[in-house]
């Protein structure tokens, strides 16, 4: 009898989680994003909270079910790779996030979310960590900020002759 009750509860939890996931990210609330500049690439560290049912679901079945939602959070970039994810945060690496121009890497503002579904909910804190260690923080943003960093190497790795 207990087994049946547990199965029914798990079924309801999964149903609620599926309903929440249809509304793209309503169960995932991003509280802070840190963008670390690394040449033409960037690593994004996300801190977030999950709704109760989503937290239970992830604890039971693992974080790989968060991967599509986390990657779509940076949907404006073409090459996003999930490095790590857990219940409280994730790290994503973006290749080619910046463009090389006259000794600088330029990072254009990119909205959070996918191209089809731009995220309207503002992120309370967005920080940029420059290669030298300097940090700039922006508040209540819906997109990455236009930033640039000086290139330590005069040519990006993708354009060097071998």
Share of the chain above pLDDT 90, in %: 54
Query: Rounded CA gap, 11 and 17, in Å?
Result: 10
Taking residues 22-33, what's their average pLDDT?
76
pLDDT for 142: 93
Give the range with max mean pLDDT: 9-18, 58-67, 93-102, 107-116: 93-102
pLDDT for 46: 97
The answer to whether the pTM exceeds 0.85 is no
Residues 6 or more apart whose Cβ sits within 8 Å of residue 118: 111, 112, 142
Q: Is 50 exceeded by the pLDDT of residue 114?
A: yes
Angle at alpha carbon of residue 64, lines to 114 and 108, rounded to 5° = 30
pLDDT for 17: 52
């Amino acid at each position: 009898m207990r087994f049946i009750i547990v199965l029914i509860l798990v079924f309801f939890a999964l149903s609620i989680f599926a309903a929440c996931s249809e509304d793209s990210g309503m169960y995932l609330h991003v509280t802070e994003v840190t963008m670390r500049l690394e040449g033409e690439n960037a690593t994004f560290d996300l801190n977030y909270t999950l709704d109760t049912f989503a937290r239970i679901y992830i604890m039971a079945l693992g974080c790989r079910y968060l991967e599509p939602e986390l990657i779509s959070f940076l949907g404006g970039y073409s090459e996003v790779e999930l490095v790590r994810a857990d219940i409280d945060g994730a790290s994503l690496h973006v290749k080619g996030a910046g463009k090389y121009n006259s000794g600088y890497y330029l990072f254009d503002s990119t909205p959070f979310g996918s191209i089809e579904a731009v995220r309207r909910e503002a992120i309370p804190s967005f920080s940029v960590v420059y290669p030298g260690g300097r940090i700039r923080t922006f508040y209540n943003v819906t997109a990455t900020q236009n930033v640039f960093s000086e290139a330590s190497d005069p040519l990006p790795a993708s354009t060097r002759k071998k």
